Structure formats: structure tokens, C-alpha cells
Amino acid sequence: MVQRHNTPQTPLKQTSTLHKVLLLVVGFFLPGILLAWAGSTSVKTSSSAAKKTASPAPYTGPVTAIINAHIHPMTTASFKGTILLQSGRVKALGKTLTPPQGAKIIDAKGKPVTPGIALSNTSLGLVEISLEKSTRNAAMKTHAPIRAAFRAIDGFDPSSTTIPIARIEGITTAILRPRGGIISGQSAFVRLWGLGEASHIKTPLAVHASLRDGHVAHTWLRLRQLFSDTRMWMKGANTSTNGHHRTLGAGVLDLKVMAKVVKRELPFVLEVHRAIDILNAIKFAKQQKIKLVISGASEAWRVAKQLAKHNIPVLLGPLRNLPRSFSRLGSRYDNAALLHKAGVLFALGAGGGAHHIRHIRQYAGQAVSYGLPHKAAMKAITHNLFRIYGLHQQAGALTPGMEANVVLWSGDPLELSTIAKQVWISGNMIPMRSRQTLLRDRYLKRLKLKK
């Protein structure tokens, strides 16, 4: 019911004064409002025009030629030959390719050249020191369970000292995953080079959620309520039902983000480990008609056929046979091999932190020792992550037109003794140094002086 109030008439003198004030306010703000409106209109027009006329930029600038390389394109068979990098992309590659005059020549001397490693679900650049609260930006400082509007990219520091440490180990791209709550927020796909938007591959990338141990039934209830609230909000329906007021379980900003999940504009990444919970997640995704990606998946091998049948991709963490919790009792080292055998698309990760993520190659090698084919393991740490998120036409392989994220290795990338000899990100030759190597060199120099 709208309440009406009888208001006394305002004297003419007061009314004219009020009109003057209003005119001054409108006169002050109106130009800015019009400019903002015009700016937003022009952005929309230019972006839509860009979509219609988008075409690859011509190859210009200096050329880098990596010769005598054992090239692993990932999408085709490996071969020995030359690969050309120009304008931040792979220009050409072939067995008998001749570098153009003036190209910078890098002699691989028969060593492997692969796409850069793509890391999933990491806190790289979001956490500097795990025990120092002021350097942790991977989660909201709240106990709220629904945090869909939280964006990991807003806390990303491309100058973090952890990034060069990962970079010189061959990691060129990473997914920044938010933490905490039932709905943790929105992830971002970034390249580990450049500032601001120069480092962005795609943001937002997906909405992340997790089933917490001991709260599984409660979490499913909250998820059903959230999707119901989102659909009601999308329809613009009145939040009162049968005369009783219904309180939505999330704020408007969160609902706006969840609407993108409902409309299949953003994937829904659910961290879950038990086989039964994975099956329930598949059923939930089918009911809600959303794009589902399973993360964690310690017991995925038990439901591999169902995952393959419904084309549900999986983001695996480090392979273990010792469970870290009751939800991971079925953990086993051949999880990846069994998923591969069943035809499930999956990518390997390094555990989600910001430190020690360089062990990703070790985890892939471990999977090979338990039955995963070598090429499948390499694709699981380079190419598959781009396939899962529909970005495989942009990066993740060594084919003409692809972003030039390239690594020259000293040997088999899955061997512990192998190092990355040189890394390129978007065609940029990366300095092969980090805070750790600088400290190493400083103290080695002192030791030599003592001798």
C-alpha cells in the first residue's frame, strides 16, 4: 500500500529558491551525464563494429626463428624443424622452413620446443606470503557464503615475485581462482607478462563454487536456492509469494553474475571430490542447463564413463594415493590415466596455491608413470585448459596464428632434471631470472670471492 501524505503548500518565495538550486545542480551535472552516455554509446557501437570486422592483424616487426628444434605442436605429430614468431604470434613452422633475412636466430640444437604451460586454479599473483594477511587477495574478507560478484582479477599483482619464479619454469599462462564461501567468485585467465589489460586473456572466465566437507547437503540447498533466486530476479518478478515477502539469498551484484551462468555465458566450476557428489553435480547441471566444469575430482575415475557421456571437462589437482580428507578416500595415482582412457577432457593443475606450482611438470610425469600417454600428459598441462574454456583457437598450441607462448627445454619437459632454457610469452623473450636466481647468484659470487 502506498501511503499518501497531505503536504502543506510551499510559499512562492521558497519554491523559486528551490527551483534555482535545482537548475544549478542540473546545469552542473548534465554535461557530465551526457558525455558519459555518449561515451558508453560509442563504446558499444565500436565494440559491436569490431566484432563484425574483427580479423587477424598483419604480421609486422622483428621475427624470431627457432631452428633445429624438436617441435611439439600438440594438435599434430611432433617433428624436427623451424618455428617463426612475429607480432606476438606463431607465424609459421615446418621441417624445411627457411628463416627470413634479418630474423633473430635461436638454435635449439635438437631440443624440445612446446607451447607454454597453462596452469589452472592458482593463487599466483593473488598471494605473496601465505602467512601475511596483508598480502592475501584471493578471497573476500567476509564470512558470506555467496560471493559471485568478487573478481580475482581485481587483486592480481603482475609484479608479484612469485610470477617470475613460475615463468622461468615454463609456465606462461594461469587461471586466477578466487577462494572461500560456497560461491567464491569469478576467475580470470592471464598471461604472466605485461601490466593491466595486456596480461588479460579472458576475464571474467568462470564462476567458482565448492562443496565443503561436512556441509554437502546444506551447500546443495543453498545452490538450488541461489539458482531459483537468480531466475526469479531475471524475470523481474515480485519477491513476494502468496502475500508473504521472500528475501533473496544474494545481492543484486551477485545475481547479475549468476544470471550469466544461467544464460550459459560463464561456465560454473564446482570443486568436488567424492564420486557421488560428482554424479549429483552432473544431475544438477542438467537440471539447471548450465555449463559445468568439475574441479578437484579425486574420485573422478569411478564415474569416468558418466563424465565422458555428458561431456563434462575436469580440472585435476596433484595426483595422490593418500587422501587428505574423507571426501578423497578414493584418491589414486592413475586417476588421469583412467579419465584419458574413458575419453574425458581434463587438465592437470598444481594444487591451487601461489608457491611450488612449478611442480606441475612433476605431477604430469607422475601421471605418465601410472599409465597416461606422454603426449596426453603434455596436452594436459598446455593445450587442454584452453579447450575446456573454448580458447583453443587463440592459444595453447604451436600452429600459425596462435599466440606465441613458447618454451625451449633442455630435454624432456616431464623429466625432473630438465630446465626451461628460454621462454616466450606473446612473442616476448622473457628474462630467465627471478628473485631466487638473483639471490643464488649473489651468494655464489660471495663464495667464489672467499675461495
pLDDT surpasses 50 at 392? yes
pLDDT surpasses 80 at 25? no
Confidence bin at 359 (pLDDT 50/70/90): confident
CA 82 to the chain's CA centroid: 31
Confidence bin at 44 (pLDDT 50/70/90): very low
User: What nine digits make up the cell of 145?
Assistant: 557464503
pLDDT surpasses 60 at 162? yes
According to the model, what pLDDT value does residue 447 have?
82
Instruction: Report the range of poorest mean pLDDT among 272-281, 326-335, 403-412.
Output: 326-335
The answer to whether 396 and 385 are in contact (CB under 8 A) is: yes
According to the model, what pLDDT value does residue 300 have?
95
According to the model, what pLDDT value does residue 127 have?
80
DSSP 353-383: -SSSGGGHHHHHHHHHHTT--HHHHHHHHHT
According to the model, what pLDDT value does residue 28 have?
37
**How many CB atoms are located within 10 Å of the residue 280 CB?**
16
Q: What mean pLDDT, rounded, does the chain reach? A: 84
Confidence bin at 278 (pLDDT 50/70/90): very high
Q: How far apart are CA 26 and CA 7, in angstroms?
A: 25
Give me the mean pLDDT over the 162-173 stretch. 93
pLDDT surpasses 70 at 165? yes
Residue 42 is which amino acid?
A: S
- Give the DSSP H/E element, type plus range, for residue 167: helix 162-167
Q: How far apart are CA 294 and CA 367, in angstroms?
A: 19
DSSP 2-48: -----PPPPPHHHHHHHHHHHHHHHHHHHHHHHHHHHHHHHHHHHHH
Q: CB within 8 A of 134, min separation 6: which ones?
A: none
Q: What is the DSSP letter of 196?
A: G
The domain 117-395 having CATH identifier 3.20.20.140: the answer here is yes
| 244-245/200-202 β-pairing | unpaired
Give me the mean pLDDT over the 388-399 stretch. 95
According to the model, what pLDDT value does residue 145 have?
86
Give me the mean pLDDT over the 375-395 stretch. 96
Domain ranges of the chain: 117-395
pLDDT surpasses 60 at 62? yes
According to the model, what pLDDT value does residue 1 have?
37
Write the pLDDT tens digit of every residue in 230-276.
999 998 855 544 445 567 778 899 999 999 999 999 999 999 999 99
Give me the mean pLDDT over the 297-311 stretch. 96
According to the model, what pLDDT value does residue 141 have?
72
User: What nine digits make up the cell of 161?
Assistant: 615475485
Q: How far apart are CA 208 and CA 210, in angstroms?
A: 7
According to the model, what pLDDT value does residue 352 have?
67
Write the pLDDT tens digit of every residue in 107-139.
999 999 999 999 998 888 788 777 676 666 666
Q: How far apart are CA 305 and CA 301, in angstroms?
A: 8
pLDDT surpasses 90 at 21? no
